[in-house]
Structure 1
Amino acid sequence: MAYSPAIGGYMYKVGDQFQITIEKMANRGKGLGRINDQVVFVPYSAPQDVLMVKATKVSKNFIDAEIVEIVKGSELRVKPACVYFSECGGCHFQHLAYSTQVTIKDQLVKETLSRALGPIDEKVFLSPIASPLEWNYRNRIQVHIENNQVGFNKRNSNTIVPIENCKIAEPALNKALTELKNTDAVKNAEKIELLIDKNLQVHQRDLNSQGQPVMFSQVNRFANQLLVDSVVEKVVRFQPKAKVYDFYSGDGNFLAAISKKLPKNEIVGIELNPGLVRLGRKEIAEQKLNANYVQSSVENYLETVSLNATDTVLLDPPRTGCDPKAMFVLGSSARKKVVYISCEPTTLARDLRLLKETAVKWGLSLRLETVQTLDMFPQTEHVETVVEFSIDKIDTHTTTH
C-alpha cells in the first residue's frame, strides 16, 4: 500500500486487509465504510459494524471488500435463520431484524430519489408497508443443477451451493424441491424453475430445453395483494373520467383490479410480450371486464396515440426501468395523475429525473404527491416503490413537492 497524491489518498490492491466501521447501508445490499476517505462497500455487513475486511475489487472511486472478521458486531445484528446465508447469493439481509430491513430499504429509496431530484418534502413519503410474511413467501424459485447437485448460485458466481430447502420459498416449493432430487430431471436438466400458479398448483419447467416461461407473476402473492390495493386506491381516489392506461401491464396484475373498480371507464393495457397479452386477454374475457390489451412496446404505442391530460397513466416497468423515449413523451405535456410502480430505486430515480428535466423544457414541473415503499422481498436487498405524481404548469408547484 502506497500513498498517491494523484488520486488524493492511499492506493490499495486486491487482497489488502484493513479495518473499517460501517456507516450505513448502501444500494445492492452492501454496507458503506471508508478507509482514508475512500469508500468501501461490504456485503453482509450492518451499520456500526467494526470489521476487518479484504479488498476484492479496487477502482478509483471505491473498493469492494469482504468480511474477514467481525471485530465488533452492530447491535442491529441478529442470527441468520438459514444455514446457507452468505454462501448462497439469494438473500442479503438475514443478519438484520426484519423491522430494520424495512427501515433501511425505505431510507435508501428516500436517499436515491433525493439525489436525483433534489430536496423532497418529507410529507411526500408515506410509511413503508412490510410484507405479511418474512419467511416462506416466494412462489417461484429457479434452481441450478450440476453433477446431480441441486441448489442456488453463490453471490457473483456460477458455483452451485447445494441446498435442502429455501427459507424464503413457500412450503409447497420446498416439498417440490425435495421431490425433484429423486427424478430424472436432475440427470438431464441444468436449470429448473419451480412455481406456484394462481390456483396454488405447483409447476416445474426446464428452462434450458423449454426456454424462459411466458408467464410473469410477483414472487410474493401475500404482499402483492397489498401492492394492488395501494395502486388501485390511488387510481380510484382520483376518480378519472377519461381513460386509464396501464403501461407494461404484464398479464394484468393491476388492470383487472382497476377495471372492477371503474367498470364505466375505458382501461387499456399495453404490453409487448405476446404470451402475457394472451394471458391478460383470457383473464379479461373470463371476468367480462371492460378492458382491452394492445400488444406493443410502450414507446411505440405513445407515438401512435395522443394522451389527454386527464387520462390516468400507470407505469410498471421491469427492473431496467422505462424507455427514455416514453419518458420524453410523458414529460412533454401536463398529466393529472401518474402512478409509477418500481422494483429498482436507481432506475426509478433515473426515469423521474428525465421526466423532470423534460417537463421543465416544456414549461412544466414534476410534482411528487406520494412515495411509498412496499417490501415484496424480505431478507433481500430488493424493494418495491409506488410513486404518485402529476406534471403541472411550472408556476403552480415546485418541481419536487
Structure 2
Amino acid sequence: MPGVQPGEQVVLEVEDLSHSGEGVGRWQGRVVFVPLAVPGDRVRVTVVEVKKNYLRARLEEVIDPGPSRCRPECPSFGSCGGCHIQHLPYECQLQYKTGRVRNSLERIGRLGGIRVLPALGMNHPWHYRNKVRFHVMLREGRPALGLYAPDSHTPGYWVGDGTRCRILDRELNELALIIDHLLGQYRDELLQGPAPLISHVTLRRAVATGETMVVLAAGGGRPRLGKLAAELAGTGRVTTVVQQTAVLPGREPDDGRTRTLYGRGYITDRLGDLVFRISAASFYQVNPVQTRVLYEKVGEYAGLTGRERVVDAYCGVGTIALFLARQAREVLGMELSSRAVADARQNARLNGLGNASFLQGAVEKLLPRLFRRDGGPDVLVLDPPRRGCHRSVLETLARCPVPRVVYVSCDPGTLARDLGLLAGYGYRVVEVQPVDMFPQTCHVECVSLLERPASSG
C-alpha cells in the first residue's frame, strides 16, 4: 500500500474478531488486525507491520466504544498474555466462540449447513483453572514468578505485584504468592550465572480432593531444590513436589525425567464418582466444572447401551475411557505418553473397571494394527492434541469404517480440517457442540458426532 508505513496512525471501525481474539477492521481495502479492539469500536491505531494483504496495528485510543465493550475484571488484562477477550461480556464471548466454530467448518472444512449448537458456558466464568505454568524470570536481581506479555518473551504479569489471576483457582493464586516469596528467600541458592536454576514452576490442584502438586522445571541442583521442597511441604498447602528436567524441542512431555522431592509424586482427583491419579507429565483438563459438561456430551454422542466396543484414541490418563466404560462392553485407550498410560491403568484399577485396558504408542500406528487384528470398534473417540489427528489415522477410518465417531477438539481450525477429510471419506457430520472450557480466552473446545452409513465407501 503506497504511503503506509510502520509508525503511521489511522482511524478505523472494528467489524469483527479474528480467531485469536484480535479486532478486525479495514483501511483502504486491507484487513487490519488490532489487539484489544472489539466489534463496533471506532479506534485510533498505530501501524506496526505492513504485509501484502493485511496490516497489524497497536491500539492507541478507543474514540467511540462499541456496544459490546465492557471493562475487564483484571487490571493486568492487555499486558498479560493469559486472557484475550476479557473486554467482551461473557454472553458475547459465547456467541463469538460459536461463530468461530461455524466459520472454521465453512471456510477450512468446506462444510456448509452443519448443525452447530450454541456454546455451553459457565455460570461463574472465573477462577476455573486448576493448572498454571509460571515462568521464573529475574526481577531486580532475584528470581520471580510471572507470565509473558502477549506474543512475546518479556514479562507481562508478576505474581509478586499482588494481582490475583482472575481465571486461576483461588488456592493456586495464594500458593503462587508463597512460592514467589520463597524464590526471593532462596535467591543465592537458585541463581546460577545469568539465569535462575528453576526455569518454570507448574501448579496443579485437584479441586475435588484439595490435593496440590508443584512441579519445578530444573536441570539439576537437587540439594538446593530439596530445601525449597521442604519449605513448600511446611506450608501445609502442598501434597507433592516434583522436579522435571527440561524437555528437548520436538520431544514428547514424558521424555523429560521426573524426580519426586516430596510426597507421592502424583495427586488424585474425582470426576463424579470416578477417581483419577495425575502425574506431573499427564494431561488432565484444566476446568473441572466444564470437564463434566464436556464428558456428558461425549457420553450422549457415544450412545452406549452396554454392548459396544469403544476405542478412546489419545486417551491421556483415561478420563474419557473410564467415563464411558461404565456403559460399554469394553473400552480400549491409546496414548503416546508412557506415564499417562501408567496412570490410566492405575485409574482403571482404582475405579474397579476391569473392562478398560490401555495401549502405549502412537495412535497412527496402533489403530491400523487393531483393525487388522481385531476389526474396528462400534464407537471411536478421537481427542487429539491441538494439531489434530495424524493424516494416517483419518485414512485408516476411510479404509475401515467405524459406525460412530465422537471427535473432541480444542482447536476449531484443525477440527474443521479433519471433519472435512472425514466427510470426504463418507462420514456424515451430525452435530457439533462447542463447550467453553476456557472463559476469557479465545480458545474453545468442541464435541462432534459423525456417523458412517453402512452403504458409504
Q: Which residue of 1 aligns with 2:295?
A: 228
Match of 2:150 in 1: 155
Distance change (3 Å), C-alpha of 1:97 and 1:32: same
126, 138, 149: which one aligns with 2:129 = 138
TM superposition shift of 1:233: 1.8
**Quick one: which amino acid aligns to residue 44 of structure 1?**
L
Indicate which of 398, 414, 429 corresponds to 1:368. 429
Aligned to 1:47: 39
Alignment partner, residue 327 of structure 2: 261
The one-character-per-residue Cα deviations of 1:61-109 (angstroms, maximum 9, x if unpaired) are: 2222220111111111111110100000110111011111011011110
- Is it true that 1:58 corresponds to 2:50 in the alignment? yes
Contact 2:315/2:383 (8 A) holds in 1: yes
Residues 130-163 of structure 1: per-residue CA shift (max 9 Å, x gap): 0243111011111122223321100011111313
In the other structure, the counterpart of 2:235 is: none
For the pair 1:183 / 2:182, whether they are aligned, the reply is: yes
Aligned residue among 217, 229, 234 for 1:207: 217
Q: Secondary structure at the match of 1:338?
A: strand
The answer as to 2:86 corresponding to 1:94 is yes
Give the CA deviation at 1:121.
2.8
Q: Distance in 1 between matches of 2:389 and 2:377?
A: 21
Report the Cα offset of residue 352 of structure 1. 1.6
How far apart are 1:330 and its partner, in Å?
1.2
What is the identity, as a one-letter code, of the residue corresponding to 1:351? D
C-alpha distance in 1 between matches for 2:375 and 2:91: 42
AA at the equivalent of 2:416: A
Q: Which residue of 1 aligns with 2:203?
A: 194
Report how far residue 313 of structure 1 moved. 0.5
> One-letter code of the match for 2:32?
V
- Name the counterpart of 1:284: 348
Question: Structure 1 residue 16: deviation in Å?
Answer: 2.4
Residue 394 to residue 125, structure 1, CA distance change in 2 (3 Å): farther
Tell me, yes or no, if structure 1 residue 343 matches structure 2 residue 410. yes
1:130 counterpart letter in structure 2? G
- Aligned residues: CA RMSD: 2.0
Q: Which residue pairs with 2:239 in the alignment? A: none
TM-score (norm 2): 0.79
Contact 2:98 2:116 in 1 (8 A): no
Gap runs ≥5 in structure 1: 3-10, 360-364, 397-401
Map of 1:326 onto structure 2: 393
Q: Structure 1: how far apart are the matches of 2:456 and 2:292?
A: 38
Across the two proteins, how many residue pairs are aligned to each other? 378
Distance (Å, rounded) in 2 between the aligned partners of 1:61 and 1:254: 43
Identity in percent: 30
Task: Give the TM-score, by structure 1 length.
Answer: 0.89
Q: Do the aligned partners of 1:331 and 1:356 also contact (CA within 8 Å) in 2? A: no
Distance (Å, rounded) in 2 between the aligned partners of 1:73 and 1:113:
31
Q: Residue 419 of structure 2 contacts residue 429 of structure 2 at CA under 8 Å; is this kept in 1?
A: no
For residue 203 of structure 1, give the secondary structure of its aligned residue in structure 2: strand
Q: Is the 8 A contact 2:433 2:448 kept in 1?
A: yes
In the TM superposition, residue 172 of structure 1 has moved relative to its aligned partner by 0.6
- Offset at 1:281? 0.3
Q: Is the 8 A contact 1:101 1:379 kept in 2?
A: yes
Residue in 1 aligned with 2:310?
244
Q: 2:454, 2:110 → 1: CA distance?
A: 19
Classify 1:88/1:133 alpha carbon distance in 2 versus 1 (closer, same or farther; 3 Å).
Answer: same
What is the CA-CA distance between 1:394 and the residue it aligns to?
Answer: 7.4
Distance 2:377 2:147 in 1: 47
| SS of the residue 1:22 aligns to | strand
- What does the per-residue CA deviation read over 1:321-340, in whole Å, with 9 as the maximum and x for residues that have no partner? 11111111113343311010
Equivalence for 2:269? none
What is the CA–CA distance in structure 1 between the aligned matches of 2:102 and 2:306, rounded to whole Å? 29
Alignment of 1:71-150 (within 5 A): 71-121=63-113, 124-147=115-138, 148=142, 149-150=144-145
DSSP 3-state at the match of 1:108: helix
